[in-house]
Amino acid sequence: MQKISSIYRLRFFLIFFTLLTISLAIFILFLSSKSASPSMRQWLHPFKTIQYHASLIVFISIPGALCLTIFAISPMLRKLKRNNYTRIIVIFSILFASTFPIGYLWKFNSLFYEKWMWYCALWFMGLCLSITAAVFIVLERPNPFNKMCSYLEPLNAFLHNKSSTKSDYWYITGLSFWVLIITLAVNSLLLGGIPHIYDGLAQLFQAKVFSHGCMAMPAPEQPDFFERMYIPIEAGRWYAIYPPGYALILAIGVLFKCPQLVNPLLSALIIPLFFIYARRIASLYVARLGCFFLAFSPFFLLMGGGFMNHPTCLLFILLFLLLLQYSSHTSSAIKIILATGFCAGLAFITRPLTALSFITVASLWFIVRERKNTKRLLKTGLLFGLGALPAFCFYLYFNHQTTGAALRTGYVHYFDANPMGFGDKPWGEHPLGPQIPRGEHHTPLRATANLFCNLNALNSYLFGWPVPSLIFAFLLFAPGLRRTEADWFCISAIIMTQGIYFFYFFQDNCFGPRFLYETIPFWIILTARAIEEIQNRWHNKVLINQSQIRGLLYIILASYFIIAICTSWIERSAQYGDSYWGTRDEMAQLLRRGILEKNAVVFVEDPNDHIAVFSFLDPQLDKGWIIAHDLGAENNRELLMHFPEWPVYRLRIKEDVSTDQLRTVLERDADF
């Protein structure tokens, strides 16, 4: 390896600092586009006027940065074969498409909706800076670089150890403990220990119903006081509309009076499951590196701190896939296949569409693998069905007890419509819940827009890097890298999940692109596989040896994670710690501090505050805090007839005389 000439050195310096200057300018414009604190607004104000030219600035900066980067690394590009250029261009074009907010342009007529164009520009600049800096350091500073690589040899030795050792046990235990601590911190410190999303609130309610040994609670005599979205009160029944799988698991936490521990514990359990599964289908290297990526994924950690059903579904999917792997290599195949079907059934009654995508891909893979053994296929299919039967029968029974028809799900019953397919979605003519005026006309174009929006979000939320999070997963298809059966399985599972949700009208970013949450392990396996392949196969195609390319990759990854913790993690903390999804967790704190009695009635004046405290309600309505809408003194008295001598509180909006601002206060109601 030779040092570069003085001309190339000057070129690198000029290009690198030009790229750095452009990146800083875009970052400052990005900050000025966001709502800043009063202390920051003054010095950011001059940049506000430049916002009118944001599109022009971005569209000049991106191609300009690309040209400068190509010019900087042109000596290394000459080493590539000409027939590889087309493939590299295609890969980076697809990567760029996954970062470019074309979906938001189609849906909201703006590339800068929720700042996604700024994210795209910053990722692109981060990528250009990474490439230029890496090439310069390797070629111009070989001695310090080699010294840093030598420091990383113990890490490399651990990751590349061909056999599992006691170190793996402590490594996985440490990462699981880290995930448990961080998800608990997210739940208690950022989210206030309450559900912020309507879905999570409804499933916590259903868990409380299950904890009383019921499928549905008897409807309250005055339902208007307890009306809540996705929790219908009809035909004498009171229940949540979602599949029962997660609520069954959450009910265990309710019985032990700690439902907030359920998702953090499940997230911690996913780490060793992922390690075993990744080792089984890929390698120990992929399993070790992938576990680190999973434990430091903001998307994974944030979802694990909430009350959504995605971690439960992912746990059962991993169990299903892992048991399916073991089913053909054990003497206890019958028990394993029954357990495989049971886990698949539990995943299905937690998130049917997501589970169906993974069950379909895994089943097709198994059929192809065992296509010459018809007897084994039939036997496995029968045992698998028998294993899944209990969960499926429970789901039918649950539907019968709630909606009145075994084959009519709560979602379809609630909205009086099927949410899948194209057309006017999802609201039917007679929904059970509150009327929601905004429906969607779902079309293939809108479905494609949803797909791109999800990829945009995944590039941001998966790792929070200053470059697209999916970059290594796409690089796995670069020239010279080998794809294995495991890689194609991961790709198939991701495509199938995306394909099923292509026909679902809704898309949002709840802690991330939540409909792709269960694909996180498979994106991570592809990422780790790409890093493994780059180390093994690119060292003879570039100007550095295998040890150096390993060191370079680890240095780049470490810098990405450090930058992510210092930027995107802080941004996410601010986003979720301040009334996320419109749910103010300070309302829950008001009740915890202000109500000392074990039993009390709380009337909530603002419907928006009702969601923040509704989780305190026990659906049996005979103990605890009765959380009710404030419907006026006369109507309130009718409800209080069922709770004689119970203390009464009101959570209401009141004007602060000293500041002339409105604030929510909790007051003891002396009139009752």
Q: What pLDDT sits at residue 607?
A: 83
With CA atoms as reference, report the closest residue to 145 among 550, 435, 513, 449: 550
251, pLDDT greater than 50 = yes
CA 541/CA 81 separation, integer angstroms: 10
Burial class (CB in 10 A: 0-12, 13-18, 19+), 635: middle
* Over residues 594-604, mean pLDDT: 93
Long-range contacts of 30-39 (CB under 8 A, 24+ apart): 30/115, 30/118, 30/121, 30/122, 33/112, 33/115, 33/118, 34/115
Contact 608, 653 (CB under 8 A): no
Residue 44 has pLDDT above 60, yes or no: no
Gap between the Cα atoms of 393 and 466, Å rounded? 47
Residue 585 pLDDT greater than 80, yes or no: yes
Percent helix, strand, coil in the chain, to 5, is: 65, 5, 30
User: Which SS3 state, helix, strand or coil, does residue 604 take?
Assistant: strand
- Concatenated DSSP letters of 275-306: HHHHHHHT-HHHHHHHHHHHHT-HHHHHHHTS
Buried b (16+ CB within 10 A) or exposed e, 497-525: bbebbeebbebebbbbbbbbbbbbbbbbb
The Cβ of residue 50 has, within 10 Å, a number of other Cβ atoms equal to 15
More confident residue, 657 or 255: 255
Q: What is the distance between the alpha carbons of residues 66 and 55, in angstroms, rounded to a whole number? A: 17
Tell me, what's the pLDDT at 51? 58
Q: How far apart are the first and last CA of the chain?
A: 85
- For residue 566, the SS3 value is helix
Average pLDDT, stretch 394-402?
A: 97
Distance CA 210, CA 206 (A): 6
Cis peptide before 437 (omega within 30 of 0): no
pLDDT at 332: 63
Q: Give the model confidence (pLDDT) of 417-474 as tens digits.
A: 888 888 877 676 667 765 555 567 889 999 999 999 999 999 999 999 999 999 999 9
pLDDT at 154 over 90: no
pLDDT tens across 333-364, in order? 889 999 999 999 999 999 999 999 999 999 99
DSSP 188: I
Higher pLDDT, 201 or 606: 201
CA distances from 348 to 250, 300, 513, 577, 593 (A): 16, 20, 20, 32, 40
Q: pTM, whole model, 2 decimals?
A: 0.93
- Tell me, rounded to whole angstroms, the distance of Cα 475 from its chain centroid: 22
- 159-173, 391-405, 440-454: range with highest mean pLDDT: 391-405
- What pLDDT does residue 1 have? 47
Q: Which of 492-501, 584-593, 652-661 has the lowest mean pLDDT?
A: 652-661
Please give the helix or strand (H or E) that residue 238 lies within, else none: strand 237-238
Q: What is the pLDDT of residues 304-328, one digit of tens each?
A: 999 999 999 999 999 999 999 888 6
Phi and psi (nearest 5°) for 401? -75, -20
**3-8 contacts at long range (C-beta below 8 A, 24 or more positions apart):** 3/139, 3/140, 3/142, 4/75, 4/139, 4/140, 8/75, 8/139
Q: Which range scores top for mean pLDDT: 438-442, 590-594, 660-664?
A: 590-594
Whether 107 has a pLDDT exceeding 60, the answer reads: yes
pLDDT score recorded for residue 292:
97
Which residues have a Cβ under 8 Å from the Cβ of 122 and sit 6 or more positions away? 23, 26, 27, 30, 466
**C-beta neighbour count of 258 within 10 angstroms:** 11
- The answer to whether residue 74 scores a pLDDT higher than 90 is no
Tens digit of each residue's pLDDT (9 = 90 or more) over 609-648: 888 899 999 999 999 999 999 999 899 999 999 998 899 9
DSSP reduced 3-state for 458: helix
pLDDT at position 602 is 95
CA 210: distance to chain centroid?
Answer: 27
pLDDT score, position 528: 97
Please state, in angstroms and rounded to a whole number, the distance separating the CA atoms of residues 278 and 272. Answer: 10
Integer Cα distance of 197 and 477 in angstroms: 38
Amino acid in the structure at residue 516:
L
**Residue 629 or 65, more confident:** 629
Query: What is the domain partition of the chain in residue ranges?
Result: 1-140, 582-668
Whole-number average pLDDT of the chain: 87
490-546: pLDDT as tens digits: 999 999 999 999 999 888 899 999 999 999 999 999 999 999 999 887 755 555 677
The amino acid occupying position 614 is F
pLDDT in tens, 274-283: 999 999 999 9
List, in order, residues 6 or more apart from 451 with CB less than 8 Å away.
103, 498, 502
- Residue 477: φ, ψ to 5°: -95, 10
- Residue 256's pLDDT band (boundaries 50, 70, 90)? very high
DSSP-assigned beta bridge partners for residue 504:
420
Reduce the DSSP state of residue 660 to 3 states and report it. Answer: coil
